[in-house]
């Protein structure tokens, strides 16, 4: 089971790579919108998945494994720093707070949708 | 040539390097989550651990990358694959939602603060560390 969850996560990483690259190329901005799109959609989807099954089924575990590799925390931190040190630079603070607030709100929305 | 460099040069497409790195990152993250199981209403230590460690490591790796010659697809393997999928935002979000739903607002805020302030600080520290060593 651990092996399958791991493979699901690795597959999620590939989808993140392709989707974030696609979004970043499509939108003309130097804000990290590719990672934003991946993290926000992943947060919404994990809300839906956990709301349905709360990690009881194999499919649920695999879906959460996939979303674990699909979304990323480290890249969010690095890209935030690249925009400046957060409280001092508004664009950096914007990237930090938008991802955080929208991510938690979307996870809650997904969860309440299915639970 | 080191084994990893030799292996990376064999990957024809970037996404295969992401997949290989993603297996490593996801395996370690899944392993940590089994060793540090989450308790309802408590601080999610496993996710906090991988997110903080991953931020430090990614900062360090990216700074080293600017200092040294790396293999082709090194960024796809290490940066996007290993360190990208070692950390997770989706699990972090749903854990915050769970804590808020269990009326553990103080723990939720402490978890958010530890993850973000800690993650940013460690990413900066990793970058600094990677740029000063030779």
Indicate the residue of A45, A78, A100 with minimum beta-carbon distance to B58: A78
Give a yes or no: residue B40 inside a domain: yes
Give a yes or no: residue B1 inside a domain: no
Domain of residue A86 covers 2-114
Give a yes or no: residue B6 inside a domain: no
Give a yes or no: residue B34 inside a domain: yes
Which B positions 83-122 lie with beta carbon below 8 A of chain A?
83-94, 96-97, 100, 112, 115-116, 119-120, 122
Give a yes or no: residue B5 inside a domain: no
Q: What was the ipTM of the complex prediction?
A: 0.95
Distance from A88 to chain B by nearest Cα, in Å? 13
Indicate the residue of B31, B88, B123 with minimum beta-carbon distance to A78: B123
Residue range B81-130, pLDDT digits in tens? 999 999 999 999 999 999 999 999 999 999 999 999 999 999 999 999 99
HEC secondary structure over chain B: CCHHHHHHCCCCCHHHHHHHHHHHHHHHHHHHHHHCCCCCCCCCHHHHHHHHHHHHHHHHHHHHHHHCCCCCCHHHHHHHHHHHHHCCCHHHHHHHHHHHHCCCHHHHHHHHHHHHHHHHHHHHHHHHHHHHCC
- For helices B105-132 and A74-82, angle between their N-to-C axes, nearest 10 degrees: 70
pTM of the model: 0.94
B130: which 2 tokens?
């990677």
Give a yes or no: residue B4 inside a domain: no
Overall number of domains in chain B: 1
Give a yes or no: residue B8 inside a domain: no
Overall number of domains in chain A: 1
């Amino acid at each position: 089971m651990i092996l399958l969850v791991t493979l699901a996560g690795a597959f999620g990483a590939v989808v993140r790579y392709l989707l974030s690259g696609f979004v970043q190329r499509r939108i003309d901005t130097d804000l990290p919108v590719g990672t934003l799109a991946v993290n926000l959609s992943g947060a919404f989807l994990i809300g839906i998945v956990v709301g349905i099954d709360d990690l009881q089924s194999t499919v649920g575990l695999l879906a959460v494994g996939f979303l674990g590799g699909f979304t990323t925390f480290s890249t969010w931190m690095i890209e935030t720093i690249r925009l400046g040190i957060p409280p001092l630079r508004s664009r950096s603070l914007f990237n930090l707070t938008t991802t955080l607030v929208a991510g938690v709100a979307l996870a809650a929305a997904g969860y309440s949708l299915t639970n | 040539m080191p084994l990893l460099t030799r292996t990376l040069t064999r990957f024809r497409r970037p996404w295969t390097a992401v997949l290989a790195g993603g297996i490593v990152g996801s395996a370690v993250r899944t392993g940590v989550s089994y060793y540090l199981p989450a308790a309802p209403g408590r601080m999610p230590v496993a996710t906090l651990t991988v997110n903080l460690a991953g931020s430090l490591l990614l900062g360090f790796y990216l700074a080293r990358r600017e200092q040294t010659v790396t293999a082709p697809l090194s960024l796809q393997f290490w940066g996007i694959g290993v360190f990208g999928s070692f950390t997770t935002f989706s699990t972090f979000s749903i854990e915050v939602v769970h804590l808020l739903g269990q009326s553990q607002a103080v723990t939720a805020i402490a978890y958010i603060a530890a993850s973000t302030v800690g993650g940013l600080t460690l990413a900066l520290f990793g970058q600094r560390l990677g740029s000063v060593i030779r």
